[in-house]
C-alpha cells in the first residue's frame, strides 16, 4: 500500500461551465499524482500535488527514444451518488505488459489502482454530470534518464492526470466514417503494436491527417505484412456484425488488447451471439457489404466507448453500412456498457470499483 503525501492546491481553478462542450482532453483538474523510480531504489515518493508543468532534463530518454507507456480509463458519477471506475485492474495489468515490452519497471497493480482512487477522490467534484460525460484518467510512465545513449532508462516518473471530457468524437453517438489505410501501416507482428506506447500513435498521425482532410474521423489499419488483414482503428478496436455473428480481429501481437473489446466480447457471448475472433481479410468485409450481410460495424474504446461506424472508405469505394445509422446491437451495447459504468445496469461481472 502506498503512503501518498498530498499537497493541495491553494488556487483551485474554476470548474467548466455546465454548457462547456468539454472537448476531449483539453481541460485538466486541480491535482496530479507523481511517483519516481531510480534503479536500485525502486518506486518511491508517491505524492499528489497541484496540477502543473513538470521539469525534465532535455536529454531524458522519453524525448529521444520514446521509452514511455500510457493508459486510459474513466471515472463516472454513478446514479447512486458514488463514483465508479470501470475495470481499473485491467489497466494496471495492461500497463505492466506495455512496460515489460519497453523495459520499464512494473508497478504493483494495487499501487496503480490506489493512486488512481486517491487522486480521483480528491478531484471528484470535477466529474461532469451531463450525459455521455466523464472524467478521463490518463496514467503514464516516462523514462527520465539524462543520457543520450540507447539503453533502458535508470529513472522514471509515473504520473496520473485527470481531464473532464465529453464524447471523443464530435459526432457523439452518430456514426463515424472510417478511412481504410492501404499505404502506411501502424504496427507489425513482433513490434510494439500491442503495447500502449506513444510510438504507435506517432506512426498513425500522418494517415489520420489525410483521413481527416477527406472528411473521415479515423483510420482503420491493415496488417503490416500482407496489407489485407484488419487490425484496429487509431483509438479503438473494431467489430463487425455479419449475418448475425459478431466478428472481430483476433489479438495477434500488433493490436491493442482493448478493455472495452474484452467487455463487449463477454457481453455479446452472454447475449447468445456467436463471437468470432479471427484474422479478417478486408475482402471478406467487402464481400459481406456487397451481398448485404454486413449488418453493423462499431468501434470500442475507453475514449470512444461504443462508436457506430456508418461508412468505410476503401480506395475509391465507399461502403455505407446499411442505412448509415446506428445499428441495433451497437445501440444495445452502448446502453449496456454505459449503463454498467453509471450504475444504471446491475454489475453482474464485478467490473465496477467504487471509490
> Shortest gap between Cβ of 120 and ligand COI (angstroms)?
15
Q: Which residues of 277-299 are buried (b: 16+ CB within 10 A; e: fewer)?
A: eeebebebbbebbeeeebbbbbb
237 binds, among ligand PLP, ligand COI, none (CB under 5 to 8 A by kind): ligand PLP
* Contact with ligand COI (CB under 6 A) among 139, 167, 299, 301: 301
Of 91 and 155, nearer to ligand COI (C-beta) is 91
> Shortest gap between Cβ of 287 and ligand COI (angstroms)?
30
260 binds, among ligand PLP, ligand COI, none (CB under 5 to 8 A by kind): ligand PLP
> Shortest gap between Cβ of 302 and ligand COI (angstroms)?
4
Of 43 and 184, nearer to ligand PLP (C-beta) is 184
* Contact with ligand PLP (CB under 6 A) among 123, 145, 232, 295: 232
Residue 187 interacts with ligand COI (CB under 6 A): yes or no: no
> Shortest gap between Cβ of 256 and ligand PLP (angstroms)?
4
Residue 75 interacts with ligand COI (CB under 6 A): yes or no: no
* Separation of alpha carbons 216 and 110, rounded Å: 40
* Separation of alpha carbons 222 and 179, rounded Å: 11
* Separation of alpha carbons 172 and 165, rounded Å: 12
C-beta separation of 158 from 292 below 8 A: no
* Contact with ligand PLP (CB under 6 A) among 258, 308, 310, 327: 258
Residue 72 interacts with ligand COI (CB under 6 A): yes or no: yes
Cell digits for 27?
481541460
* Separation of alpha carbons 46 and 75, rounded Å: 21
Residue 105 interacts with ligand COI (CB under 6 A): yes or no: no
Of residues 129-168, which lie at the interface with ligand COI (CB under 6 A)?
none
> Shortest gap between Cβ of 303 and ligand PLP (angstroms)?
6
Q: What's the number of CA atoms in the CB half-sphere (13 Å) around residue 355? A: 28
Nearest to 180 by CA among 209, 147, 220: 220
Residue 257 interacts with ligand COI (CB under 6 A): yes or no: no
Residue 260 interacts with ligand PLP (CB under 6 A): yes or no: yes
Tell how strand 218-222 and strand 176-180 pair up: parallel
The residue behind cell 457489404 is 289
* Separation of alpha carbons 23 and 169, rounded Å: 9
C-beta separation of 143 from 156 below 8 A: yes
Under 8 Å CB-to-CB from 305, ≥6 apart: which residues?
132, 167, 168, 260, 334, 337, 338
Of 96 and 237, nearer to ligand PLP (C-beta) is 237
Cell digits for 187?
504496427
Of 72 and 105, nearer to ligand COI (C-beta) is 72
165 binds, among ligand PLP, ligand COI, none (CB under 5 to 8 A by kind): none
Residue 302 interacts with ligand COI (CB under 6 A): yes or no: yes
DSSP assignment letter at 350: S
Residue 248 interacts with ligand COI (CB under 6 A): yes or no: no
Of residues 55-74, which lie at the interface with ligand PLP (CB under 6 A)?
72
* Site string (286-315) toward ligand PLP, x via CB under 6 A: --------------xxx-------------
Rounded to 5 degrees, φ, ψ at 107 are -115, 130
Q: What is the CA radius of gyration of the chain?
A: 21
Which residues are near ligand COI by CB under 6 A? 72, 235, 301-303
Which residues are near ligand PLP by CB under 6 A? 72, 232, 235-237, 256, 258-261, 300-302
Amino acid at each position: 500500500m502506498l503512503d501518498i503525501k498530498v499537497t493541495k492546491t491553494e488556487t483551485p481553478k474554476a470548474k467548466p461551465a455546465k454548457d462547456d462542450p468539454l472537448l476531449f482532453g483539453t481541460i485538466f483538474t486541480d491535482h496530479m499524482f507523481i511517483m519516481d523510480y531510480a534503479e536500485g531504489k525502486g518506486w518511491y515518493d508517491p505524492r499528489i500535488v497541484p496540477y502543473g508543468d513538470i521539469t525534465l532534463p532535455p536529454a531524458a530518454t522519453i524525448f529521444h527514444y520514446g521509452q514511455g507507456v500510457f493508459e486510459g480509463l474513466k471515472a463516472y458519477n454513478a446514479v447512486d451518488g458514488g463514483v465508479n471506475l470501470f475495470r481499473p485492474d485491467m489497466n494496471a495489468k495492461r500497463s505492466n505488459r506495455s512496460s515489460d515490452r519497453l523495459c520499464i519497471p512494473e508497478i504493483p497493480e494495487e499501487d496503480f489502482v490506489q493512486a488512481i482512487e486517491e487522486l480521483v477522490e480528491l478531484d471528484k467534484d470535477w466529474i461532469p454530470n451531463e450525459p455521455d460525460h466523464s472524467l478521463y484518467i490518463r496514467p503514464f510512465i516516462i523514462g527520465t534518464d539524462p543520457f543520450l545513449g540507447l539503453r533502458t532508462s535508470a529513472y522514471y516518473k509515473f504520473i496520473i492526470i485527470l481531464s473532464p471530457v465529453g464524447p471523443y468524437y464530435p459526432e457523439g453517438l452518430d456514426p463515424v466514417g472510417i478511412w481504410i489505410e492501404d499505404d502506411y501501416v501502424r504496427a507489425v507482428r513482433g513490434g510494439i503494436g500491442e503495447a500502449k506506447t506513444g510510438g504507435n500513435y506517432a506512426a498513425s498521425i500522418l494517415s489520420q491527417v489525410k483521413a481527416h482532410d477527406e472528411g473521415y474521423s479515423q483510420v482503420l489499419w491493415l496488417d503490416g505484412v500482407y496489407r489485407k488483414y484488419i487490425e484496429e482503428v487509431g483509438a479503438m478496436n473494431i467489430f463487425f456484425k455479419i449475418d448475425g455473428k459478431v466478428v472481430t480481429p483476433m489479438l495477434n501481437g500488433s493490436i491493442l488488447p482493448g478493455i472495452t473489446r474484452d467487455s463487449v466480447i463477454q457481453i455479446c457471448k452472454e447475449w447468445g451471439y456467436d463471437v468470432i475472433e479471427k484474422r479478417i481479410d478486408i475482402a471478406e468485409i467487402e464481400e459481406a457489404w456487397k451481398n448485404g450481410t454486413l449488418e453493423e460495424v462499431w468501434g470500442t474504446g475507453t475514449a470512444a466507448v461504443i462508436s457506430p461506424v456508418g461508412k468505410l472508405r476503401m480506395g475509391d469505394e465507399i461502403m455505407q453500412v446499411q442505412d448509415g445509422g446506428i445499428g441495433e446491437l451497437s445501440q444495445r451495447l452502448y446502453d449496456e456498457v454505459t449503463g454498467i459504468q453509471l450504475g444504471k445496469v446491475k454489475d453482474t461481472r464485478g467490473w465496477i470499483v467504487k471509490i
